[in-house]
């Protein structure tokens, strides 16, 4: 779908994703099941300088407050290539979640 979207539509989607990401902090802090992140560190189309890294910094304090959350890996690819180039890191994160198990709430 991305190739069929206009520049304005891409911008709207990115703005909305940033808003969702910002609002997800309280949800992540309360998450009671294991969750692992694989962070892409490569440059992304449309971002300038270290904008992506600045965005990722908000994750560190949330991970520090919730023991169910962890950063499994930081990889060199960007977010559009992470599954193709860093699938081993993603698979390792999935295995970490499986090993952590899921607590049930009664």
Q: Is residue 106 part of a domain?
A: no
Query: Residue 14 pLDDT more than 80?
Result: no
Q: Is residue 105 part of a domain?
A: no
Average pLDDT over residues 21-49: 83
pLDDT of 7: 81
- Residue that wins the pLDDT comparison between 8 and 47: 8
Residue with structure tokens 């990115």?
14
> Which of 71, 53, 73 lies closest to 63 in space, CA to CA?
71
Number of structural domains in the chain: 1
- End-to-end, the C-alpha distance of the chain in Å comes to 42
Query: What is the tens place of the pLDDT at every residue in 51-78?
Result: 667 767 788 899 999 999 999 999 988 8
CA contacts within 13 A on the Cβ side of 2? 5
In terms of Cβ atoms closer than 10 Å to its own Cβ (0-12, 13-18, 19+), residue 30 is exposed
Q: Is residue 61 part of a domain?
A: yes
pTM of the model: 0.74
33 is in which domain, residue-wise?
A: 2-100
Rounded to whole angstroms, how far apart are CA atoms 91 and 94?
5
């Amino acid at each position: 779908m991305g190739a069929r979207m206009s520049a304005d539509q891409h911008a709207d989607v990115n703005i909305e994703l940033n808003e969702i990401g910002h609002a997800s902090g309280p949800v992540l802090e309360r998450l009671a099941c294991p969750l692992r992140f694989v962070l892409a560190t490569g440059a992304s189309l449309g971002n300038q300088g270290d904008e992506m890294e600045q965005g990722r910094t908000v994750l560190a304090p949330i991970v520090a407050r919730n023991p169910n959350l962890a950063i499994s890996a930081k990889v060199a690819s960007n977010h559009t290539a992470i599954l193709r180039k860093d699938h081993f890191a993603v698979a390792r994160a999935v295995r970490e979640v499986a090993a952590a198990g899921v607590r049930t709430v009664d």
